[in-house]
Amino acid sequence: MYIVSIAIFIAIVCMMLPYLYMLFKETNMVRLEKFLIRQRNNPSLYLFYAIANKQDEVVESQINRLLAKYKDPNKQALYKAIYGAYLKNMTAVKNDVSLIQSIQFRIYYEAYVHIEEGNLELARDTAAKLSKTYMKSALLSEIELRTGNRQEAIDLARLALQKVSGLQRYIVYKNYERELPEALLKD
């Protein structure tokens, strides 16, 4: 019985590895996009595709599905902050940021609010608290862009792209594709 249990566990892990790799480690944009398109019935994953491709109605419907599915105030706060940031509604983000359980996401959205409100030094100080390099670099890139240091913004955006993988990479890449295409070009 013990051997059968281990065999079943190994089989399940082997089946999940490609899926987990795609979620967290994949860097190929074509594969990420194909994966996300196939996730149309999974709102927590398809939301990445909709946000990255600026599909307003789809983003709204996916957020509504997630809010209906998850009643935990901490999860709801994260989804509301994501949607508020997507709409550039800083009041909505500020209302929910303190309830976000993940410290990294909470700090990220606090810094994002500071950037949008023009408090760039406070945003820089807040971003410095992040341990995830891609998050910190993405925020610092936006700060440099707003202060007119385009080349520094490009360099930081490239660093963010080097350090991010999986679904987060898809959103970061698509954002730079629209907002800072020079960051995608090789020297």
pLDDT value for 186:
64
Residue in this structure with the two tokens 């359980």, named with its chain if needed: 101
Stronger pLDDT, 121 or 20, i.e. the higher one: 121
* Choice among 2-16, 119-133, 173-187 with the minimum mean pLDDT: 2-16
Report the b/e string of 58-67 with b at 16+ CB within 10 A.
Answer: bbeebbebbe
Spatial CA neighbour of 113 closest among 95, 131, 135: 95
Task: Please report, rounded to a whole number, the percentage of residues in the chain having pLDDT higher than 90.
Answer: 86
DSSP 184: G
Whether 92 shows a pLDDT value over 90: the answer reads: yes
